[in-house]
């Protein structure tokens, strides 16, 4: 299927990336929050977070919020605004987040605040804690990244400034909103302050300055910046060059290290999805797009200071070695992971193709065991389950886990297989699908829509404005139900939103995540690194924004726990096991999934109404070349 878009396709990769920071979301590097045990809270220097002029937090006119990883909340008792009658719930969330911060568990703290902001979007305290946690997480991840550390060791002052200038040029040219150059510089000062107070940075650069000296240096930088005119990218570069010289003189820190903190801080200041990508992170993103990577093939989460295996990819080295979901990784090549950050431990799993690694793993209550595995190229299936769930009624089930380059080929193969097995109705499960390529989601939706707008993107300049439309050729006309939840995001929302707006099928589950922006991936060739940059926002066929709103299901089904198996409760249903050639976990029972159960009831109740549109159970007027776009 060819895509007709009203504009020329621009050179950068258009990618509706996954929730939050996708550079940490390649298989084997996904982290999710988990409850923790209480510990004594430590004390760290307060850090000032720069304000956005466009949306200042409610406070006294001249009161800058005082922030720090473990300090008191900004302006508590005077400037904090209670935005909800459930403010006490926000306080409880903040307390849990501060506990994670006190334990330096930044990945979990960041995910904790992300989830909380979705529930309490108006809380300035949550937004501020999120910004602090993100900066600490980003810093520790970079300094646990061997590619970044090697790059920094070889980088001179001039090279760092050139990289900073290249980043600013990309922002000026492609960013979705008009840049606030002073804010970018101020946020760089904030990022530098975070770095100067964090042990990973201090050890790498042998910082021996006392906290008072660091605070005085940061105050001096703020004074210098305030006295400057910073209204364009050239003036921003000059301000950072001066800051690097001052820090080098006062603290002895190499200027290139200072510039790189300003660079990373500027990227983080833009929005939650724009960020600097180290060389390895850039390759991770390319691997996500292509649907393959070199590694073991496990999805991880950080839990109680340990890496826990959430998923083992079918056919991967991890599966062949006998690793199982639910196991905790205690040691990697005899190195104890409990003394490392989540990112440092995950980095130990990486290595060149063909190299070996020995893991010590265990389940709670079980004796630890050693597992040897060889790192290989892993193909990540975008469809990990496609099966007939009710053969008598002709109901097929297909779980779509992401939108990558191979997705539509996989989708076509699965649809024709299910059609041959008697598919007359279809359930597509997008729960937990974090997104992927925008164009792939459009092509996937085009398989089920025969006309009309699928999605429209709008940016700061006309070159980012696209309108994608569906075509009658190759349309599957089977009755359709789409399952979504709060982790269905980005490209998954494009698919579900188009199905909903065109009344092509029923959407069941919970409101989706609400990530309505497009990111371009730009290579910064001078340092072999990259920039993930928000270039546009996207809108549903009816013109509704997805950002912070998501897709509302026709039928809301709340679940107390994330489903681990497909469920219908009907005795005549088969087990949800992978069809031949499809990956996915075996022996999934059809129990304890109220969302799928509701979808089955709905699709059965609507079978008579839909049957007249199903062309006697066939996929409609499907052309011989269904995959013309491939």
DSSP 397: E
* CB neighbourhood size of 581 (10 A): 12
From the candidates 145, 515, 579, 593, give the one annotated as an active-site residue: 515
Half-sphere CA count of 609, side-chain side, radius 13 A? 9
* CB neighbourhood size of 443 (10 A): 24
Q: Token digits for 302?
A: 């950080």
From CA 402, how far away is CA 491, in angstroms rounded? 8
For 227-254, b/e burial (b = at least 16 CB within 10 A) is eeebeebeebbbbbbebbebbbebbebb
Residue 208, judged by CB atoms within 10 A of its CB (0-12, 13-18, 19+), counts as exposed
Residue 38, judged by CB atoms within 10 A of its CB (0-12, 13-18, 19+), counts as exposed
490 included as an active-site residue: yes
Residue 580, judged by CB atoms within 10 A of its CB (0-12, 13-18, 19+), counts as exposed
255-270 and 181-196 helices cross at what angle (nearest 10)?
A: 120
Q: Token digits for 252?
A: 């002895």
501 included as an active-site residue: yes
From CA 491, how far away is CA 22, in angstroms rounded? 13
- Hey, which residues does 523 pair with through a beta bridge? 530
From the candidates 145, 186, 485, 501, give the one annotated as an active-site residue: 501
Residue 64, judged by CB atoms within 10 A of its CB (0-12, 13-18, 19+), counts as middle
From the candidates 256, 490, 568, 579, give the one annotated as an active-site residue: 490
Nearest to 193 by CA among 10, 44, 318, 314: 44
Catalytic site residues? 490, 501, 515
């Amino acid at each position: 299927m060819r895509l007709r878009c009203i504009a020329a396709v621009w050179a950068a990769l258009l990618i509706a990336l996954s929730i939050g920071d996708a550079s940490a979301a390649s298989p084997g590097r996904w982290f999710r929050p988990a409850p923790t045990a209480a510990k004594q809270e430590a004390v760290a220097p307060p850090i000032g977070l720069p304000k956005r002029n466009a949306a200042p937090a409610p406070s006294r006119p001249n009161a800058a919020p005082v922030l720090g990883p473990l300090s008191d909340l900004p302006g508590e008792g005077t400037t904090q605004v209670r935005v909800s009658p459930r403010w006490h719930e926000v306080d409880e969330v903040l307390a849990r987040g501060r506990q994670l911060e006190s334990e330096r568990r930044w990945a979990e703290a960041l995910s904790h605040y992300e989830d909380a902001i979705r529930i309490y979007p108006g809380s300035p305290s949550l937004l501020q804690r999120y910004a602090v946690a993100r900066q600490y997480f980003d810093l520790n991840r970079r300094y646990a990244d061997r590619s970044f550390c090697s790059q920094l060791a070889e980088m001179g002052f001039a090279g760092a400034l050139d990289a900073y200038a290249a980043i600013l040029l990309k922002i000026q040219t492609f960013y979705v909103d008009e840049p606030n150059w002073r804010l970018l510089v101020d946020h760089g000062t904030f990022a530098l302050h975070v770095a100067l107070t964090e042990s990973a940075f201090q050890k790498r650069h042998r910082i021996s300055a006392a906290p008072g000296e660091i605070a005085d240096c940061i105050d001096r930088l703020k004074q210098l910046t305030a006295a400057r005119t910073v209204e364009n990218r050239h003036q921003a570069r000059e301000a950072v060059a001066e800051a690097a010289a001052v820090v080098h003189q006062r603290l002895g820190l190499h200027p290139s290290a200072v510039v790189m903190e300003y660079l990373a801080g500027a990227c983080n200041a833009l929005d939650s999805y724009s960020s600097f990508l180290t060389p390895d992170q850039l390759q991770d993103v390319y691997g996500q797009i292509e649907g393959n990577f070199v590694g073991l093939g496990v999805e991880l989460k950080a839990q109680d200071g340990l890496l826990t295996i959430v998923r083992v990819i079918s056919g991967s080295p991890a599966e062949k070695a006998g690793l199982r979901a639910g196991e905790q990784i205690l040691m990697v090549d005899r190195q104890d992971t409990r003394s490392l950050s989540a990112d440092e431990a995950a980095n130990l799993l990486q290595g060149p193709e063909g190299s070996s690694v020995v893991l010590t793993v265990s389940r709670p209550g079980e004796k630890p065991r050693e597992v040897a595995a060889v790192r290989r190229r892993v193909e990540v299936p975008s469809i990990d389950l496609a099966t007939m769930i009710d053969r008598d009624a002709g109901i097929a089930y297909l779980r779509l886990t992401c939108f990558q380059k191979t997705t539509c080929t996989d989708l076509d193969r699965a649809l024709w297989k299910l059609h041959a097995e008697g598919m007359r109705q279809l359930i597509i499960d997008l729960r937990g699908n974090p997104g992927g390529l925008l164009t792939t989601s459009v092509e996937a939706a085009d398989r089920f829509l025969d006309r009309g707008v699928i999605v429209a993107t709008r940016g700061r300049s006309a070159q980012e404005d696209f309108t994608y439309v569906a075509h009658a050729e190759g349309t599957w006309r089977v009755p359709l139900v789409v399952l979504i939840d709060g982790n269905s995001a980005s490209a998954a929302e494009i698919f579900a939103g188009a199905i909903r707006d065109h009344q092509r099928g029923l959407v069941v589950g919970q409101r989706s995540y609400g990530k309505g922006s497009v990111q371009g991936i730009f290579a910064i060739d001078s340092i072999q690194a990259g920039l993930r940059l928000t270039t546009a926002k996207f809108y549903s066929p009816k013109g509704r924004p997805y950002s912070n709103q998501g897709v509302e299901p026709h039928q809301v089904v709340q679940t107390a726990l994330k489903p681990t198996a497909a469920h219908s409760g009907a005795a005549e249903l088969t087990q949800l096991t992978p069809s031949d050639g499809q990956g996915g976990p075996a022996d999934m029972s059809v129990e304890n999934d109220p969302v799928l159960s509701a979808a089955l009831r709905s699709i059965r109740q609507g079978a008579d109404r839909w049957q007249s549109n199903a062309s006697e159970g066939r996929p409609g007027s499907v052309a011989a070349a269904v995959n013309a776009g491939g």
